């Protein structure tokens, strides 16, 4: 598939006159169309709900767009719960899935009426001690161990993951939770990350559906929902074809009717927790070429760095780059596209064939709408960039300003040092 930007060079030049680079830009039109498709794909399930993974893009303006299409919030921390509450998302609109969870976070989640998803068997006692009860509605995270392989060879290794309960543990957990007053049970699992295949969700669903039938039969617990979690990915590279969410939804429906309906469990609600799929392709990092360097390699220095997008430095992840205005020029120059951090891995591309880049050129780094801004940090004292929404009518809205030195030094407030900064 050809990688195209959702913004034109002319639009971008107008935007950068108002907002200095670097910044993350989001496509409202694309977000809305994708959220609508997601809801349609699972409309066959009466109780379906997408719980957007707040960790992926924790911006209330973007999450509120998704909420217009019935999406809730998947939270994993105190501050994510705070964000959700602030936008009016409470009760069963929140799925709280965490690990190594402090009691304060369980307490806050319970206060908001969130559905709590227990990561570990020992968390039953810990939760009860933290909130003084076991909620009527509760979920448990399952980890089958071993490896998980899809037909096209895509695989992950749940057995090496720190998340979830063993099969034996989840059966015992259901028994104990039922004895302690739980009435509605859910199952949650995440077995593979960023799968670009329509097969992943149906395969995962079949495994969880069969588990649910056995759990209900052997423990007497009523399984009211099954959370397929995340894992449906996006095509970061041009040679990949995007997932077809409608085909995925249909694949899950077939398995649902094969496994759950004959077992008398045709009322089970299906939940998802997609971050990357919901938002990833609809965000990009806009940066400007400010330096060129000719040593043992050819380097282009840009005004963004790993603070703005960590995935390439952290994982060696590929993010496509478009040199605006040069989309039709031959990619006949080999560059490392680098940021300014004092780390050699601070590179958005290594040995990437691109059109000739000149200082002042605008570069669009694709697919940063999820796990882009949110993974930023402040190494070298670098400041996180602004977030801007490109609205359907072509106008723009600043939905998060860029950090300032005052933000960076804010936690020194009340000290003698802070007074010396003259902020």
Domain containing residue 308: CATH number: 2.40.37.10
Of 225, 249, 278, the residue that ends a domain is: 278
Give the model's pLDDT for residue 238: 95
CB 37 within 8 A of CB 245: yes
User: Helix 200-219 to helix 167-179 angle, to the nearest 10 degrees?
Assistant: 50
Q: Per-residue pLDDT for 161 more than 70?
A: no
Specify burial of residue 241 (Cβ count, 10 A radius: 0-12, 13-18, 19+). Answer: exposed
* Distance, CA of 341 to CA of 324 (rounded, Å): 24
Average pLDDT score over residue span 241-260: 97
- Note the pLDDT tens digit of each residue in 177-211: 999 999 999 999 988 888 999 999 999 999 999 99
User: pLDDT category, 394, cuts 50, 70, 90?
Assistant: very high
For residue 420, being part of any structural domain is answered with: no
- DSSP 8-state symbol, 393: T
For residue 374, being part of any structural domain is answered with: yes
- Residues taking part in catalysis: 342
Tell me, yes or no, if the pTM score tops 0.85.
yes
Per the prediction, the chain carries an average pLDDT of 95
CB 338 within 8 A of CB 309: no
Give the model's pLDDT for residue 59: 98
Q: Which H helix or E strand runs over 382?
A: none
CB 22 within 8 A of CB 406: no
Backbone Cα Rg of the chain = 23
Same domain, 256 and 288: no
Same domain, 302 and 238: no
Pairing type for strands 283-294 and 298-302 reads: antiparallel
* Distance, CA of 43 to CA of 49 (rounded, Å): 9
Give the model's pLDDT for residue 191: 83
User: pLDDT category, 152, cuts 50, 70, 90?
Assistant: low
Q: Per-residue pLDDT for 148 more than 90?
A: no
CB 201 within 8 A of CB 227: no
Same domain, 274 and 287: no
Give the model's pLDDT for residue 380: 97
For residue 4, being part of any structural domain is answered with: no
For residue 135, the enclosing domain spans 28-278
- Note the pLDDT tens digit of each residue in 318-331: 999 999 999 999 99
Q: Which of 228, 293, 287, 266 is nearest to 95 (CA)?
A: 228
For residue 327, being part of any structural domain is answered with: yes
**In total, how many domains does the chain have?**
2
């Amino acid at each position: 598939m050809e990688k195209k930007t959702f913004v034109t060079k002319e639009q971008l030049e107008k935007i950068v006159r108002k907002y200095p680079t670097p910044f993350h830009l989001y496509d409202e039109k694309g977000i809305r169309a994708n959220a609508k498709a997601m809801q349609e794909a699972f409309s066959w399930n009466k109780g379906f709900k997408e719980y957007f993974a707040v960790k992926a893009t924790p911006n209330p303006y973007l999450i509120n767009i998704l909420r217009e299409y019935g999406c809730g919030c998947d939270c994993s921390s105190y501050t994510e719960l705070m964000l959700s509450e602030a936008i009016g998302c409470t009760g069963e609109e929140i799925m709280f899935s965490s690990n190594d969870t402090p009691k304060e976070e369980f307490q806050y989640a319970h206060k908001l009426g969130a559905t709590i998803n227990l990561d570990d068997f020992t968390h039953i006692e810990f939760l009860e001690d933290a909130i003084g009860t076991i909620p009527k509605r509760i979920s448990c995270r399952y980890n089958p161990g071993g490896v998980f392989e899809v037909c096209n060879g895509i695989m992950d290794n749940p057995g090496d993951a720190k998340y979830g309960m063993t099969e034996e543990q989840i059966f015992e957990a259901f028994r104990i939770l039922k004895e302690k007053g739980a009435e509605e049970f859910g199952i949650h699992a995440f077995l593979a990350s960023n799968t670009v295949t329509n097969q992943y969700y149906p395969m995962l669903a079949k495994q969880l559906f069969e588990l649910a039938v056995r759990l209900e039969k052997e423990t007497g617990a009523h399984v009211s929902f099954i959370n397929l979690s995340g894992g449906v990915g996006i095509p970061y590279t041009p040679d990949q074809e995007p997932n077809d969410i409608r085909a995925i939804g249909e694949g899950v429906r077939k398995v649902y009717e094969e496994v759950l309906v004959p077992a008398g469990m045709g009322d089970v609600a299906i939940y998802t927790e997609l971050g990357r799929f919901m938002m990833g392709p609809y965000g990009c990092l806009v940066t400007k070429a400010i330096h060129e360097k000719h040593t043992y390699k050819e380097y282009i220095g840009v005004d963004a760095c790993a603070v703005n997008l960590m995935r390439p430095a952290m994982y060696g992840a590929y993010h496509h780059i478009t040199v605006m205005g040069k989309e039709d020029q031959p990619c006949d120059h080999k560059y490392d596209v680098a940021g300014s951090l004092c780390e050699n891995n601070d590179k958005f591309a290594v040995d990437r064939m691109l059109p000739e880049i000149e200082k002042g050129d605008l570069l669009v780094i694709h697919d940063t709408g999820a796990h882009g801004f949110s993974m930023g940090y402040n190494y070298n004292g670098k400041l996180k960039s602004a977030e801007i929404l490109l609205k359907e009518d072509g106008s723009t809205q600043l939905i998060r300003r860029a950090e300032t030195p005052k933000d960076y030094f804010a936690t020194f407030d009340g000290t003698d040092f802070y007074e010396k900064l003259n902020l």
